[in-house]
Structure 1
């Protein structure tokens, strides 16, 4: 009976040891990937993802002068509005100033829309 108890205990200990070994191996595997140092490149240019998600593209035709392509690109950049957003984020703007700016922007936008509607109605 004593021999049977010893083998039972040794089997239990072997199982516990195997389980503990598997647990330690899993933790070691997870921790090496979770806290892996990021590689640093001194000469590499890092591109940070923009919060504005700006994607301004133009297609330049064959034989098109570079000046006209630049003009079209500048127009697209201005239409996207991200430069104005960056200009506003250059300095801290409290909520009251932001509200005032948004009201003025909405007023200007509505004025431009009214002018465009007037132009379109005069065409017909």
Structure 2
């Protein structure tokens, strides 16, 4: 019994150590999610990850407001938009981001001029 409990103890200690060693060689960027949540309301845009590394991302855009909104993203090599979303609706937008700054805004009516804008910085 004593021999078996020592073996269990070694396994319990060894597994986290082995996991830590195996992950130490993994690029932290590879572990990052390729999804960015963008929440639109009256009259603001909140970005879950405003600073990311270059790569391909899916923007999960959700209109948490009551009025219609869309999302435009423009920057180095990107000029894309979602359809206009009714309150409560969502859309996905796949973009490849290079180093630089990307402007995000709602192009519905005067929403941009009253504060519906944000940005994403890419290193």
TM-score, with length taken from structure 1: 0.27
- Where is the strand percentage greater, Structure 1 or Structure 2? 2
Question: Bigger radius of gyration, 1 or 2?
Answer: 1
TM-score, with length taken from structure 2: 0.27
Structure with the larger RCO, 1 or 2 (CA within 8 Å, 6+ apart): 2
- Where is the helix percentage greater, Structure 1 or Structure 2? 1
